[in-house]
A and B are shown apart, each in its own frame.
Chain A
Amino acid sequence: MQKMFTKKRRLVYLLLPLGVFALSLVLMSSSHREAPLISNDPLADNTDLYVFRSPDNSNRVNIIANYIPFELPQGGPNYYNFGTNIRYEVHIDNNINTKGDDIIYRFTFQNTNEDPSTFFNIRLGKQNLKTTYTLQRSMNGGMSFTNIITNGVVPPNNIGARSIEQPVGLNRTYNAIMNDAILTATTGEKVFCGPIDDPFFVDLGGAFDLGDLPRQGDGARDGLAKYNVHSICLQIDISTLQKDGKTVAQAANILDPNYVIGVWASSSRRATKTLQSANGGSPFDLTGGGTFTEDGAWVQVSRLAVPLVNEVINPIGSKDLWNALTPYQDLANIGTFGEYSYNPELALYMDDSKFGAAIPAFRALRVQSRSLGQFDFRNGRMGLFGLKGSPALAGTALAESAFGGLLLPGPGKPRSVDIWPIIHTGVPNMRPYQLATGKGGNPLAEGKPFIGNFLPNGGDMIRLNMAVPITPRNSVDFSSLGLVQAAVLGLTDPRFNTNKNLEFIPNMDGFPNGRRLEDDVTRIELQAIGGVVLAALGLFYDDYNPAAMPAQSPVTNRLVNTITYSTGVEKNDTTFKTAFPFVQTPWRGTLITNQ
């Protein structure tokens, strides 16, 4: 093995064929109705979570948590709104040395009927189910909370011109109403809560018809096009989020590990709901009819961090339990949930010795079965476990003295080195988690840094290194492939692939280093399960055989197939705003024509 890695290779700095760039680089619902129980409780159903440095203010980070899937813009008469009796929360871990959350934002909503005599939602300036919120913040992991917004306004649904702009309605433009709902908390955060276009995009119909992504029979369709969602948007100073209160200017470098935050969102309900009935009798007493009470402890009913985890990583039998746990309980339940990352179900469909033939749409994706002639990452195989304890691992993240205990937990868990850490720990800027650029063919050697979002609490979170600069959205380098595209550039672009220095490579601020609204996370995750991250580190695909063909480029057809793989739905069905809250105005009920 040693011999193979040290063999002189001329293809140290990889060149991806230009053709790849000529292709438009192009991927499912993140967590919409993803588990049996929560699919019956739409108001508490957390659909997506985004965490990204703000393109319009580099000192700030945006956190967007979305709820209530598949809102029809025309869904009257009551439309959709945040639920009362629900705690909607955004949680932040910024310090591995403190147990659990460090910061919690807690939103609670109230609604009132301004005119209970009508069935219309809005009439003559009056609005029913008019919703306001209280925002509380805890800076000590939930021990104490302070109110930082009271009576925050939630805009109405975008029903139509008569209800919004016309004098018989609210007599204002929707965007004016939306802008007025952007508030500044007493502690400086910008906040918006309201209906928006669902920024997620995915071919739902194809995906869940046994993985028909991209569709083999007919064309791809964005199954979330023209649906709305209710969004909680926060814009927060990096110095508020950083564990020591430091500004981003004080970061040691763009991968400073002290700037890593882990973010997750949740919703909770009271343990007991009691439906009341009218008292009845004669004379008939209506008291209590059509009401309910809720009491008892708060119980978490939905959670979300890394997209699609409870959608396509956890199988149906475990989804409801997962929603009830906090990320800090994931490690304790690794016996149940670890396996879904170590041996992901989706990898069965990218493996010809398993169910590879069952999903023709995934034929571009094949997991490495003999990377560098020896490493087999197919489900149930050894992956890198054969190296455990080897002196060759000294100084790498896989060394026992480092994180070998987490990352090489046992035989038959091949994806413990890529899929598991991407979801549960983040990835450190350490060997072997550097690009193959400069590694001289040895994946364990030092290469070009591209990620450092390590926060090894073992829980599913979106981890963002806040020190990584922002890729401007209008840059030609901006790509919805996120960190995968940063890796492609670091491996193939002459601006970045001639040295192994730490440089800012565009899209290093993309998923899975945080998550931008534009990131095509379905595609990125399917590519990751297809082994693209392993390949980026130098654990190339089976059709790379330098032993037989010393001059062969590691950019083999299989790598090209993986990089060019697409689900066929590559971007949102509308644009994003260029300023907070970035998410787009909700679709109008009267403008929906083709659903």
Chain B
Amino acid sequence: MKRKIYASILMGVMLVNTFPVTALASSHREAPMILGDPLADNTDVYAFRNPDDPTKVTLIANFIPFQLPQGGPNFYQFGENVRYEIHIDNNVANNTYTAGDDIVYRFTFSKTNEDPTTFFNIRLGKQNLKTTYQLDRSMDGGVNFTTIVTKGIVPPPNIGPRSISSPVGLNAPDYNTLINNAVATASTGEKVFCGTADDPFFVDLGGIFDLGDAPRTGNVGTKPVDGLKCKNVSTIVMQVDIATLQKDKKAVSQAKNILDGDYVIGVWASASRRKIRTLNTNGTESFQGAWVQVSRLGMPLTNEVINPIGEKDLWNSLTPYEEGAIGDNIYNFDQIFNDNLYNPELALYMDDSQFGGAVPAFTPLRIQKASLGQFDFRNGKMGLQGLKGNPALAGTALDEAIAGGILLPGPGKPRSVDMYPIFRTGVPNLRPYQLATGKGGNPLAAGKPFINNFLPNRGDMLRLNMAVPPTPRNSADFNTLGLVWAAVLGLTDPRFNTNTTLQNIPNMDGFPNGRRLEDDVTRIELQTVSGIVLAAIGLSYEEPARLGQVLGYTTGVERNDTTLKAMFPYVQTPWPGNCNCAGQATGYVQPAVLPPSASTMGIAAPEFFMTTAPNPASGTTTIRYRVETPSQVLLEVYNEAGNRIQVLVNQRQEEGTYTVPFNTSTLSSGIYFVKAVSNGQIKQALRIVKN
């Protein structure tokens, strides 16, 4: 049995390796209400241990989706009258404030116009809508706040070189200098950056939301496209000492082991607005009343593809702690939100007894219906519920004495053992949540540890065990499949699969143990909905080839459209407004601007005036010339040796401006001359460089 499991996994891996290994916007405009409020729209949250300083953790919260680099004149910027917050839960113990957040970072932004007389955003060293921020921190769950950054700088939008680096603009050396100047250190030691960045998320939006067509199958002639390509986002990046985040203020060096349960944090972000917004008749707004949360984000894609449309707005308004409490009350509210994980909609499209035929792109993804001959994890089926109370569960996480109440809540909720804990509690380093390696075919047996980010507050958060070492980004083992890839290595790689010892398997620091910028969370989540985590812990697929198919599944968009920075703030410089992907080229060639006509200048206008663009040229360059008086016009091309190689024009022409294309593509590199002869007299010679 053991060998068989290994063999099937190995086969899967080999298959995968021949596939390009690679998966939705996380939460961009994901709920009806928030799409009308882009400034408060939280798009993604990341939490990862720093590759360049392992004593620190980086937290990133992104807002304002789909920013066009060319989106002037006002571009995009954090909103005033919005509270942007990053929340950390590091302790589920029931003491004074840990029923909810332990640490809260709160950002508030202010704007000013340095020159209200112009419609340009930046002009002559002055910037409009210039934004600064204040950062307040609470270490007691939001009761008391201390200001730790005042007048923090937010760089301007990356409009283009004229606005940023020319003397008529800000005259900055380059945009990255503005980013570097905006990196602040809080009075309590955190490194902070707030500004515009390339949106690090990647997903085939067009395909996935056309009824799940990822990878593309149903749209003739279309290929997967990163729908967030060349889009910017407003980002809050923080680098925080692990000792600040750890509940007892311990350094990471004090961790008992790399899965020490005391080092788990839950991270979520939110945006809140004042309860009452009043429009005044003079074009201003007033805000008053209590703060109301309008957007939140923890795990990627929860409100995008887990919650159905009817529940998205409500979900945005709740805290994770409120969400966790819903199941506790006397109403049958667990049908809301919890059931979206117990029986996820996406699983319907991976189940041939449901809508499996409706989404052909998901054909490789099928859920276990008879794992180990008995366990059916399809929606509405029993999953592991049949084991509830069974003595075989003793000492496992499913034991009633441990977390059985949460993880086996009732019949017909098959994904309570994988989808629900991944999103709501994290996963403990307890049986059965260990790799099948060493289990001898019994998923309930002890196996090889690979995860412990258990923080069972039952709210949607990104949970990171900060004791897990970072995988170097340049390591051959680094993989965007995150923890899925750690499982693959732990099951199949001889460095790790010969014992059940706790080892540092590369990518154990990857999603869903935190979330790195590189992690392909769409793919990982779709694989997870398809049961890959169940398979990793020994609840294998009934079809031998299925694991390989699930592992090899990709959405076709596997990485960001640009690189990431090796250093803080890691997110990449925002796309400038003049970049090649901001708009569609028209091929326009500007005509020569003529000097003023003669009379006022006291000199005669040239009888013949010729320009060309582009120059240097590699393909076709367009020559423009003006004939002042009707004449016989001859345009000839000569090479450097003085040999005539082409006649472009030889005809009588009336006064006017003319254009003639000159195709240089067949010419060898070098210098050429275009000689203009009018009525037999040489008027002008143009020098053209062929690249």
Contact = CB atoms under 8 A, between A and B. Distances in A.
B278 A271 contact: yes
Given A162-B213, A209-B577, A364-B593, A118 B309 contact: yes
Given A315-B119, A320-B284, A160 B586 contact: no
Interface stretch (A217-225, A389-397, A435-443, A504-512): A217-225
Contact of A210 (B66, B111, B120): B120
A77 B209 contact: yes
Interface string A103-126: 000000000010011111111100
B599 A544 contact: yes
Contact of A590 (B129, B161, B216, B359): B216
B586 A570 contact: yes
Interface string B301-315: 000111111111111
A159 to B, nearest CB: 5
A119 B318 contact: no
Contacts of B128: 316
A209 B578 contact: yes
5 contacts: A74-B206, A120-B211, A159-B210, A160-B211, A589-B209
A286 B314 contact: yes
Contacts of A19: 626-627, 654-658
Contacts of B116: 315-318
A334 B283 CA distance: 17
B477 interface: no
A543 to B, nearest CB: 4
Contacts of A318: 116
Given A40-B39, A591-B222, A316 B168 contact: no
Contacts, number: 420
Contact of B218 (A22, A162, A299): A162
A477 B513 CA distance: 66
A40 B38 contact: yes
B446 interface: no
Interface string A408-438: 0000000000000000000000000000000
A594 interface: yes
A556 B597 contact: yes
A214 B216 contact: no
B657 A564 contact: yes
A75 B29 contact: yes
Interface stretch (A90-98, A238-246, A275-283, A483-491): A275-283
Given A543-B596, A558-B596, A590-B210, A117 B328 contact: no
Given A163-B210, A218-B578, A275-B292, A212 B585 contact: no
Interface in B294-333: 294, 304-318, 322, 325-326, 328-331, 333
Interface in B120-138: 120-124, 128-129
B69 interface: yes
B218 A119 contact: no
A169 interface: yes
Interface in B42-86: 66, 68-76, 79
Interface string B454-491: 00000000000000000000000000000000000000
B66 A548 contact: no
Interface in A201-241: 203-212, 214-215, 217-226
B162 to A, nearest CB: 4
Contacts of A17: 654-657
A128 interface: yes
Interface residues of B, number: 140
B369 to A, nearest CB: 22
A11 interface: no
Contacts of A290: 31, 33, 312-318
Interface in B221-235: 222-223, 225, 227, 229-230
Contact of A363 (B275, B345, B593): B593
A22 B658 CA distance: 7
Contacts of A592: 206, 225, 227
A41 B70 contact: no
Interface of B: 28-33, 35-39, 66, 68-76, 79, 111, 113, 116-124, 128-129, 159-163, 166, 168-169, 205-213, 216, 218-220, 222-223, 225, 227, 229-230, 273-285, 289-290, 292-294, 304-318, 322, 325-326, 328-331, 333, 336, 345, 358-359, 576-588, 590-591, 593-601, 605, 626-627, 654-659
A210 B122 contact: yes
Interface in A128-173: 128-129, 159-163, 166, 168-169
B84 to A, nearest CB: 14
B213 to A, nearest CB: 5
Contacts of B655: 17-19
A284 B326 contact: yes
B28 to A, nearest CB: 8
Contacts of B281: 299, 324
A89 interface: no
Contacts of A169: 211
Given A72-B227, A322-B283, A316 B113 contact: yes
A588 B210 CA distance: 10
Contacts of B579: 205
A4 interface: no
A35 interface: yes
A514 to B, nearest CB: 25
B582 A223 contact: yes
A215 B578 contact: yes
Interface of A: 17-23, 26, 29, 32-37, 39-43, 70, 72-80, 83, 113, 116-124, 128-129, 159-163, 166, 168-169, 203-212, 214-215, 217-226, 269-278, 280, 282-284, 286, 289-292, 296, 299, 301, 311-325, 345, 355, 358-359, 363-364, 541-545, 548-549, 552, 556-558, 560-561, 564, 566, 568-570, 573, 588-595
A274 to B, nearest CB: 5
Given A77-B209, A78-B35, A209-B577, A320 B588 contact: no
A39 B599 contact: no
Contact of B168 (A210, A364, A589, A594): A210
B317 A282 contact: no
A50 B535 CA distance: 60
B666 to A, nearest CB: 23
A210 B162 CA distance: 6
A557 B216 contact: no
A8 B59 CA distance: 79
A134 to B, nearest CB: 20
Contact of A220 (B159, B227, B293, B586): B586
B329 A23 contact: no
Contacts of B594: 557-558, 560-561
A542 B600 contact: yes
A595 B333 contact: no
A548 B209 contact: no
Contact of B588 (A214, A273, A324): A214
Contacts of A286: 314, 318, 326, 333, 336
B68 A223 contact: yes
Contacts of A78: 29-32, 35, 309
Given A40-B37, A76-B205, A284-B329, A204 B310 contact: no
B220 to A, nearest CB: 7
A125 B292 CA distance: 36
Given A209-B578, A316-B121, A321-B283, 7 more contacts: A17-B655, A19-B626, A119-B345, A221-B583, A589-B205, A590-B213, A590-B219
Contacts of A594: 581, 584
A347 to B, nearest CB: 13
Given A204-B583, A205-B578, A278 B318 contact: yes
Nearest to B583: A221
B609 to A, nearest CB: 9
A364 to B, nearest CB: 5
Given A75-B66, A212-B162, A271 B117 contact: no
A553 B28 CA distance: 59
Cβ-closest 7 pairs across A and B: A19-B656, A208-B72, A283-B329, A76-B209, A317-B116, A116-B310, A160-B210
